Structure 1
Amino acid sequence: MLPERTDVLVVGAGPTGLTAALTLARRGVEVTLIEQRETPPVTSRAAVVHAYTLELLDRLGAGAPLVARGLPSVRFSIRDRDHVLFTLPFDRLPSRHPYALMVSQSVTEEVLTERLADAGVPVLRPYRLTGLRHDGDGAVAWFDGGASVRARWVIGADGLRSTVRELAGIPFTGPADSAESFVLADVRVDSTLPRDGASVFLARSGPLVWAPLPDGRVRLVATVADPPAEPDADYLQRLLDERGPARRPDRIREVLWSSRFRLHRQLAETFRRGPVLLAGDSGHAHSPAGGQGMNLGISDAVDLGETLADVRAGGPDRLLDEYAARRRPLAHEVSDFADRLTRLATAPPALRPARDLLLRLFAVLPPARHRIALRLSGLHQRPAAEGSNVALSDAVPGAVPGRRTGR
């Protein structure tokens, strides 16, 4: 049952909303978390948790249980069929987690939900937000059925089609031609590819990501022009045959689930409007290249949760403006970085020889590989890493330089 009042109302119980609520609860802030879906999803898009994200989750007591359920990936390889063009090592990252953790988003949500329950905060569902009004004392949120909640602050963590963002009147804009179509599937395959690292295959028809998951599963992600609603084994096998290993091709044994989605590169005009604050996909959407989306959302959530707790404890209101000023430029940077990775992967035929030469050059330059590994891992956000902070333009030509965002 919904309370009449709360300090912080979090709308959306995905990884971002769960993390924000957990951060607040552990700081002693009264928080209410609502979700419109009746049950948690059993399928998910995100499949990697990077090193910096794991460090943040360690602070919330969620890192160790998540690592126990995931599969460490110590390298990321870029391939042209059977030829490895570039390998990015994670095992030398300056972190207690020198790897990328391969784990389904649904498992990440389960772990966060368990930690949140330990903190005494349930996920209230299903409640669909229908109205939002803010005034000098905070905000009032209405839900289907007529129930309402007055909150001092509202966090919109309700995803790409955020109702909170729309009701707050915050524009969400991006390039008109930015939509991309993807196939997404978890499968079981007979494969000779190593399971201690993920790979992306560059092909004329588009890139294909091959990422191992626990329990012998493999996550496949591919850009395609017009995918079916639920790609079957034959469709996915054709993608592997066209883009994957050639000499010893993979063979799909079982499709556990599959889907398609379209993603637009968009960014909220502001991450704050009065008592309404945005985090995660509510504030930014971009290419899935590099597995940055969920990780950035969790980082947003910890930052926002800590900032709200500081204000609740007597800190100045301007701290919330500073949160918005930190996170929006970072989201823009990550979007640019993911776009650059996508353009590298989908270079037209005339530019592919130059691209492949560039990748081979990076492969023999350890400092360049280390910079990119730091950037992908998110460790460039950590204040302790400031001395070795990544200049993104040094790692990927033409990208936006990294910014310090840790608190």
Structure 2
Amino acid sequence: MRPTSTDVLVVGAGPTGLATALTLARRGAEVTVLDQVAAPPVTSRAAVVHAYTLEVLDRIGAAAPLVAQGVRAPRFTVRDRDRMLLAVPFHELPSRFPYALLVSQAVTEKVLTDQLADLGVRVRRPCRLTGLSHTADGVRAQVDGAELRARYVVGADGLHSTVRQAAGIGFTGPSDEESFVLADVRVQSVLPRDEAALFLARPGPLVWAPLPDGVVRIVAAVPAAPAEPDAAYLQALLDERGPRRRPDRVTEVLWGSRFRVRHRIADTFRAGPVLLAGDAGHVHSPAGGQGMNLGICDAVTLGTALADVLDGGPETALDGYDARQRPMAEDVLSFAAGLTRLATTSPARRPARDVLLRLLGGVPPVRRRIALRLSGLSHREPTPG
């Protein structure tokens, strides 16, 4: 028999929802997770977990099993065809995880799902939230025609969040939309297999990220992405934006898809007992690989705050979540938009851009600041004392 009440209802079983639930479950909270799709997707956009995110995941015991399944990238490079403009040294990061971990989002989700299952929490699938109403002690949720009472509801249900809409929270940003193609491929390439690269090209940026088992994830901004990009289409993208002297050759397409993104942020991350995390609260360009990372950081911060309140702490902890994570989201949105502008600089300005990046890359303190920014460690709260 399905439960009729819970401490926290988490809507959405992507990395954000799963990490929120795991944080709560490890603290002994009663948590219910639901998702409207029948099975977890085996394909996904995100392919990098940064150092700060790994530190956050380590707090809930999820970093080690994830690291064991990924590729450690000790640096990140920015390139213009064959020219390396900037090399960002992750191996010098002040962290237990001095690298970017290259791993499919599907693997991240499985690690979190397995750890939740070990704690007796299983995702309810397929299960759809159809309505929310506030009560004196929390929220009444309509789930597949049945009523579920919760003290708090977390909307981790993505761009078109039902939770956000039901709570009446605005979701604002520019009206223009970016189109992206993504694919997992096998390629013949001279590029390092332990390094992610961002290629800056006038038509738009292209991300080249090696994954385990010889797979490479390609993500590129394009005017109109095909629903299922084939080898010829992806080869044309690499010929246009990738290495020129020794070009990549696509040998196999494992899967491909498309997605569209608008830069938007919720007006607030909290409306009473309803809270937002991940793409339900903020969406932006994938440039810099920040999206899933920010969502996971939202999740553990929010899960910790909720657990503290459920343990008798003050409700102001939830206002603190909004006060910390929303400015962080604004910062990440600005950063991702800046990377996109950098990539699409006009031909007349590209020589100056390239010279500037190479000059900046030659200054160690600047390289360090860029590494801290990309890795998320610039958002790490200072240790007291």
Q: How does 1:2-401 map to 2 (within 5 A)?
A: 2-144=2-144, 146-177=145-176, 179-384=177-382
C-alpha displacement of 1:196: 1.3
> Retained in 2: the 8 A contact 1:267–1:284?
yes
C-alpha displacement of 1:384: 3.8
Amino acid at match of 1:120: G
- 1:146-177 C-alpha deviation (Å, 9 max, x unpaired): 11200000000001110000111111110122
- 1:368-404 C-alpha deviation (Å, 9 max, x unpaired): 01001011111122224799xxxxxxxxxxxxxxxxx
Among all aligned residue pairs of Structure 1 and Structure 2, give the percentage whose two residues are the same amino acid: 69
| Aligned mates of 1:380, 1:102 — CA distance in 2 | 20
TM-score w.r.t. the length of structure 2 is: 0.98
Structure 1 residues 249-258 or 348-357, which shifts more? 348-357
Equivalent residue of 1:133, what SS? strand
Amino acid at match of 2:149: R
Equivalent residue of 2:320, what SS? helix
> Retained in 2: the 8 A contact 1:57–1:63?
yes
Amino acid at match of 2:81: R
| Aligned mates of 1:126, 1:206 — CA distance in 2 | 37
> Retained in 1: the 8 A contact 2:328–2:379?
no
Instruction: Report the number of matched residues.
Output: 385
C-alpha displacement of 1:202: 1.6
- 1:291-338 C-alpha deviation (Å, 9 max, x unpaired): 101000000000000001111111111111111111111111110011
Equivalent residue of 1:149, what SS? strand
> Retained in 1: the 8 A contact 2:21–2:116?
yes
Equivalent residue of 1:91, what SS? helix
Structure 1 residue runs of 5 or longer lacking an equivalent are 388-407
| Aligned mates of 1:6, 1:23 — CA distance in 2 | 15
Poorly superposed stretches of 4+, deviation over 6 Å = none
Greater RCO, 1 or 2 (C-alpha within 8 Å, sep 6+): 2
Equivalent residue of 1:383, what SS? coil
Structure 1 residues 205-214 or 6-15, which shifts more? 205-214
Structure 2 residue runs of 5 or longer lacking an equivalent are none
> Retained in 2: the 8 A contact 1:33–1:123?
yes
| Aligned mates of 1:296, 1:63 — CA distance in 2 | 15
C-alpha displacement of 1:278: 0.4
Over aligned residues, Cα RMSD in angstroms? 1.2
State the match for 1:391 in structure 2.
none
Equivalent residue of 1:36, what SS? coil
State the match for 1:399 in structure 2.
none
TM-score w.r.t. the length of structure 1 is: 0.93
Amino acid at match of 1:170: I
> Retained in 1: the 8 A contact 2:74–2:100?
yes
C-alpha displacement of 1:80: 1.2
> Retained in 1: the 8 A contact 2:72–2:194?
yes
Amino acid at match of 2:151: R
| Aligned mates of 1:239, 1:263 — CA distance in 2 | 20
